[in-house]
Structure 1
Amino acid sequence: MTGNFIKNITPQLIKWRRSFHCEPELGFMEYVTTYKLGKELQKLGFNLNVGKQALDDESRLGLPNEADLKIQEEKAELKGVEKAWLDKMRGGFTGLVATWDTGREGDHVAFRFDIDALPINEIADGEHFPSLNHFASNEKNVMHACGHDGHMTIGLGVAAYIAAHQDSLKGRFTLLFQPAEEGGRGAKAMTEKGWLDDVDYFYAGHIGIQSLPVGTVAAAIQGFLASTKLNAYFSGVASHAGMHPELGRNALLAATTAANNLYAIPRNSDGITRINVGKIVAGSGRNIIPEKGYIEVETRGETQKINQYMLDEASRIIHASANMHNVTCRIDQVGVTEEIACDTALIPKIENWCSNSELVNEIIPIAQVSGSEDASFMMNRVQQKGGKATYMLFGTELNYPHHHPAFDFQEEVLPVALETYVNILKGGSPDCKKHG
């Protein structure tokens, strides 16, 4: 029965994925994406929570500026997003939460699917699979380069299964289609809205991260780091570089001094640390003392405590660099993630539930990863309230790394991931002896 459902829906999974891929949107500006998701979920009969119903306003981090939000809202309107939908999302209230109550006593199970893209220009190469098949990004400098187009596709597949098999399921289901995962900006806003407070089991997952054969699934991960994202603004005084250099205060030098010295933060004996300066903007001309400077920085640590050490040191160095060049400085925190510890008790359950799977060939108990994930807020809230949570990987060959202009994944991973989630759903069904 499961096999037929997966087989029948696979062409639709591919159609959904390609539709999302060619219309990517950045975090908190996923207006068209949210609308597309919502219309599909509406047809399936889910209860939808959009806009301020889904997100806590004060907990959103790293919001785009008002001008960029307005531009994207106007584009969404031109692309056919209904006014009633757009009005709920205006000001960066994208993403949605879909709920389903079977009316039968059982667990509350939640799933997270991220929906945002990245500020990357997709490669225009005839051998690049999306280009070859005419679904490459239509947006300059915006691309699904991390698999989120696949993640939300899988989420729609999960929703379709719940709707089609509601009579054989019990309990409640919450599907969180989360905006602004990149940069650790969106999960906290959904978490603080209370969606995870009474969840018994929480599942999130990612296509790729490691290059693994299609059919391989990791039941848990280990290694995601706590992280903080910073924007630093340096303000100096402009002057003529030839006639009156002594009257200027060079914000460019302050920014570059900070950038260089941030990499000199000593490592920490308690665990892994990371620091990166990913962007620097300063100056306006060769004969002008630069008045403004700007850098984008991230810190990471194996635990929140270690990341806090990196954050404290980074802030100290940024302010010291500003003082050295007699300029002022402001630091804005625009993103944050926490460490993740999967509940290993779920590993044998997932192994059992997938033991007779047609598409899952191998279950890796724990995969080692790096990077960071803001699903950490959701997982940690569930665990703090007594529930269990895990974060899975779904194998695909990766010819290029995540966040690369030529990133892509094998579409065959979509039904594998969906079947994994379906097996998890069946694990709580009242009429399935194997999963009971």
Structure 2
Amino acid sequence: MSSEFLKDLTPQLIKWRRTLHAMPELGFMEYITTYRIGKELEKMGFTIFIGKEALKEESRLGVPAAADLEAHEKKAIDYGVEQSWLDKMRGGNTGLVATWDTGKKGDHVGFRFDIDALPINESADSAHLPSKHEFASKEKNVMHACGHDGHTAIGLGVAQYISAHSDHLKGRFTLLFQPAEEGGRGARAMTDKGWLDDVDYFYSGHIGIQSLPVGTIAATTPGFLASTKFNVYFKGVSSHAGISPELGKNALLAATTAANNLYGIPRHHDGVTRVNVGKLIAGSGRNIIPEDSYMEIEVRGQTPEIAEYMAEKATRIIQAAANMHDVSCTIEAVGVTEVVVCDKALIPKITEWCASSEFIKEILPAVPVSGSEDVSLMMNRVQKHGGKATYMLFGTQLDYPHHHPQFDFEEEVLLAAVDAYIHILNGGSAI
């Protein structure tokens, strides 16, 4: 049944993916993306909850500056986003939740699909598929360089199946189209809204991460690290670098001192650690003592204890660097992820359910990863309330890594991913 459905749906899946790819939006600014998704789900008959209805506003982390939000809201109006929709999203409350109740007793199954892009300028190389086929990003320095355009298309494909085959399914379905996954900023806001508190089974996943043949899927992904993301502001005193340098307090030196010493945090004997200084802005001219500097960093750890160790060490180093150069500093936590532990009990179920798929050629029990994912908060909430959760991988060849200007994936992976979820739906909730 799913084979014919997917063959018919293929042009639409690719169209969804390419349309989303061409107009990417950064986290908590996915106004147009949310609107596009919601309009598709409305046509399918889902009950949808938009923006402030879908997330807890005060639980968001790393919300963009008011000026940036206002500029993107204006862009959304110019695009044609209805005022009633924009009112629910205003102030960076993007994303939506879609629900479907078959009316028949059964499990409550949840899915999460992330929708945000990255601050990367997409390659214009003619060998790059989106450029070659004219669906590359139209937004300067914004790009779907991590496959979230594909994830969103997969979510819409799953929704289309539920809508078309509801008579053959039982139970309830909740689909979370989550904003601001990048930086670990958005999941907590949806989790705190309570959508996952009575979910029996929860599934999410990712295109790629490891380069695998299309048709290969992984049922679980051990190795995701807990992480904390910080924005750091140093405030010094400006002065003339030649006439009165002694009167200045150099915020740039404080930031570079912190950056260099962050990489000196001792590794932990109990497991993996990571640290990265991803952005540093400071100074205004060669003869001016820099008064301000700004730094974006992250730390990660294999366990909650190691992640806390890394965050504590990082905070101490940053403060010490400020003290050393006699400047003040403000440290703002703007993102968080937790350790992911997939339920191994789902491995044989997923293996059995997906064995008959035409589009899935190999089912791996587990594929190790080493990044971080804020879906961890959702998974941990489900498990805390007695449900089961896993995070899957969907194989594709990767000529370039995630977060690269030429990142892309084989679009056939969309079929394999949707079919995996369809077989899970049928295995777990078919009548």
Q: Same fold (TM over 0.5)?
A: yes
Distance 1:32 1:51 in 2: 12
In the TM superposition, what are the counterparts of 1:23-422 in structure 2 within 5 Å? 23-422=23-422
Distance 1:195 1:320 in 2: 42
Distance 1:4 1:430 in 2: 18
Distance 2:35 2:209 in 1: 28
Cα shift at 1:258: 0.2
Report the AA paired with residue 342 of structure 1: C
Report the AA paired with residue 130 of structure 1: P
Instruction: Find the residue that maps to 2:286 and give its secondary structure.
Output: coil
The answer to whether the 8 A contact 2:61-2:335 is kept is: yes
Cα deviation 1:172-210 (Å, max 9, x = unaligned)? 000000000000000000000000000000000000000
Instruction: Find the residue that maps to 2:208 and give its secondary structure.
Output: strand
Cα shift at 1:428: 2.4
Instruction: Find the residue that maps to 1:409 and give its secondary structure.
Output: coil
Instruction: Find the residue that maps to 1:427 and give its secondary structure.
Output: helix
Q: Which residue of 2 aligns with 1:434?
A: none
**Unaligned regions of 5+ residues in structure 2, if any?**
none
The answer to whether the 8 A contact 2:95-2:177 is kept is: yes
Instruction: Find the residue that maps to 1:5 and give its secondary structure.
Output: helix
> Given the two structures, how large is their TM-score scaled by the length of structure 1?
0.98
Cα shift at 1:248: 0.5
Cα deviation 1:22-53 (Å, max 9, x = unaligned)? 00000000000000000000000000001211
Distance 2:155 2:354 in 1: 18
Cα deviation 1:70-90 (Å, max 9, x = unaligned)? 000001111111111111111
Distance 1:105 1:363 in 2: 30
Instruction: Find the residue that maps to 1:376 and give its secondary structure.
Output: helix
Cα shift at 1:255: 0.4
Distance 1:219 1:313 in 2: 35
Cα shift at 1:355: 1.0
Q: Which residue of 2 aligns with 1:9?
A: 9
Cα shift at 1:430: 4.1
Distance 1:429 1:414 in 2: 22
Instruction: Find the residue that maps to 1:351 and give its secondary structure.
Output: helix
Distance 2:154 2:430 in 1: 24
Cα shift at 1:348: 0.3
Distance 2:26 2:294 in 1: 21
Distance 1:74 1:58 in 2: 23
Q: Which runs of 4+ in 1 moved over 6 A?
A: none
Instruction: Find the residue that maps to 2:177 and give its secondary structure.
Output: strand
Cα shift at 1:409: 0.2
Distance 1:429 1:123 in 2: 43
Report the AA paired with residue 170 of structure 1: K
Cα deviation 1:39-69 (Å, max 9, x = unaligned)? 0000000000012110111110000000000
Instruction: Find the residue that maps to 2:210 and give its secondary structure.
Output: strand
Distance 2:429 2:323 in 1: 63
CA RMSD of aligned residues (A): 0.6
Report the AA paired with residue 288 of structure 2: I
Instruction: Using the TM superposition, name which of 422-431 and 123-132 deviates more.
Output: 422-431
Cα deviation 1:296-315 (Å, max 9, x = unaligned)? 11000001110000000000
Cα deviation 1:119-154 (Å, max 9, x = unaligned)? 000000111100110100000000000000000000
